[in-house]
Amino acid sequence: MDADPVAPVTGERPVGVAIVDDHPVVVEGVRAWLATEPRLTVLATGDDPDEVLRAAPAADVVLLDLRLHGRMALDKLAELSAAGRRVVVYSEHTDPQTMLAALDAGAVAFLAKHEGREHCVATVLAAASDRPYVPPALAGAIVGDARPDRPVLSDKEREALLLWFQSMSKASVARRMRISEHTVKQYVDRARIKYTRAGRPAATKAALLARAIEDGLIRPEEIGIYRSQASYDRPTP
């Protein structure tokens, strides 16, 4: 099951963001980008995740540089994710192995540092509402990498996953497919079990989406681009 102790943001208040990066110029640049979107507010910044979150315990999204003070912060990412934090990894390390390792550690999204304001804003908004978003670097790194150990999904499993990835709640997917919500959950759980048996676990929604794109089971364009004008009226449990 996805760790989801915090309800998705509904739009009644700005999305609170905490920025963790050890390069002040990057912090100020990202802060300026996020300031262009009225639904976002930066609550705290700094180069130490614990200090930043002590200053902003109510942050909805943590934008985390994956490399802090010369070392990869995958352990801290896993710790924050296990604590229920929605973490967007923001990194210059964009090889497929690093991206998938971050998603497997619990990141809700992966954003390359060379990607611009539009993708940064869209990714944070999507993360706040538990919606998937596939920036170009992530899509380009994993699409079409057909691995021999990829699981085989049934047509119904693929349809349920695709609708779920397209920002629908499981209840909405059930209505669309004319099946029970319990059956939708079974389809999603079965896909996760298949990946686990293949030695490629996908515990979070973001990781499962990445695996499906990586194996060619889902195309990035089928998910679509999450625009900043999208509403938050459909939570995705």
For the chain, what are the domain ranges?
15-223
pTM, two decimals, is 0.66
Q: How far is residue 188 from each of residues 201, 207, 215, 218, measured CA to CA in Å?
A: 13, 13, 16, 14
Closest alpha carbon to 223 in 53, 97, 109: 109
Which has the minimum average pLDDT: 24-28, 29-33, 61-65, 116-120? 116-120
For residues 188 and 90, what is the distance between their CA atoms, to the nearest angstrom?
27
Condensed to tens digits (0 to 9), the pLDDT of residues 173-231 reads 888 898 988 888 888 888 887 887 777 777 777 788 878 887 777 777 777 543 332 33
Number of CB atoms found within 10 A of residue 185's CB:
17
Q: Give me the residue label for tokens 């676990």.
A: 201
Condensed to tens digits (0 to 9), the pLDDT of residues 58-103 reads 999 999 999 999 999 999 999 998 898 999 999 888 887 888 788 8
- Residue 28 — pLDDT band, cuts 50, 70, 90? very high
Taking 60 as the threshold, does the pLDDT of residue 144 lie above it? no
User: What is the homologous superfamily of the domain 15-223 according to CATH?
Assistant: Response regulator (3.40.50.2300)
